[in-house]
Chain A
Amino acid sequence: QQPVQSPQAVILREGEDAVINCSSSKALYSVHWYRQKHGEAPVFLMILLKGGEQKGHDKISASFNEKKQQSSLYLTASQLSYSGTYFCGTEIRNAGNMLTFGGGTRLMVKP
């Protein structure tokens, strides 16, 4: 039941944009996004609870298309500090409080 993330890895230059996608085969109740830096625990970025919801955090934003069971994370004008692995977590409808994560997207931002 793990969601599928794409791409698996991306390399950017500072200031460039990136999009990370997350898709599920099941109807979703919510989508979470987390970032994990090397050697550290994952850190919460945002939750999207409603189909069509969009949220932003600095220059990082996300959208949730409930009908397509997909979410996308947008990183605009990337900074060196954006480097890390990004995970989407999905809560499936009628599956209790279970939260499952995708395989992760490794993002590297170079000067």
Chain B
Amino acid sequence: DVKVTQSSRYLVKRTGEKVFLECVQDMDHENMFWYRQDPGLGLRLIYFSYDVKMKEKGDIPEGYSVSREKKERFSLILESASTNQTSMYLCATTYGPPGELFFGEGSRLTVL
């Protein structure tokens, strides 16, 4: 079974703090994605990566950056957290051109 592990299930941060969300997969998948999920807005793509050190902007990249130094790890960085970044963040992986996506359990971030 594919395992996608997100480092923290729940985080509470203060406005202006730097936040790291980490995602690790154990199946050697090429593609990794970060989405945020908000009620009524579905899953919105923030960034994705199709290879080590490669990244592409999704639909809502503003206020976020990513890092992929190793194939199995994809990090989402909020340089200066703001209250409007309070959300559920989901990491997903897939092999090759988007086939079945495997999601992590999610990280619920609250920014005060």
Contact = CB atoms under 8 A, between A and B. Distances in A.
Interface of A: 1-2, 5, 8, 30, 32, 34, 41-44, 47, 87, 89, 91, 96-104
Given A1-B59, A41-B104, A97 B97 contact: yes
A8 B40 CA distance: 8
B35 A97 contact: no
Contacts of B12: none
Contacts of B99: 47
Nearest to B100: A44
Contacts of A99: 33, 45, 48, 94, 98, 101
B32 to A, nearest CB: 10
Interface of B: 31, 33, 35, 40-45, 48, 50, 56, 58-59, 90, 94, 97-106
Contacts of B31: 97
A101 B44 contact: yes
Contact of A30 (B43, B98, B104): B98
Contacts, number: 67
B56 A89 contact: no
A98 B100 contact: no
A32 B42 CA distance: 14
Nearest to B42: A103
A18 B4 CA distance: 32
Contacts of A87: 42-43
Given A87-B43, A97-B31, A99-B98, A41 B103 contact: yes
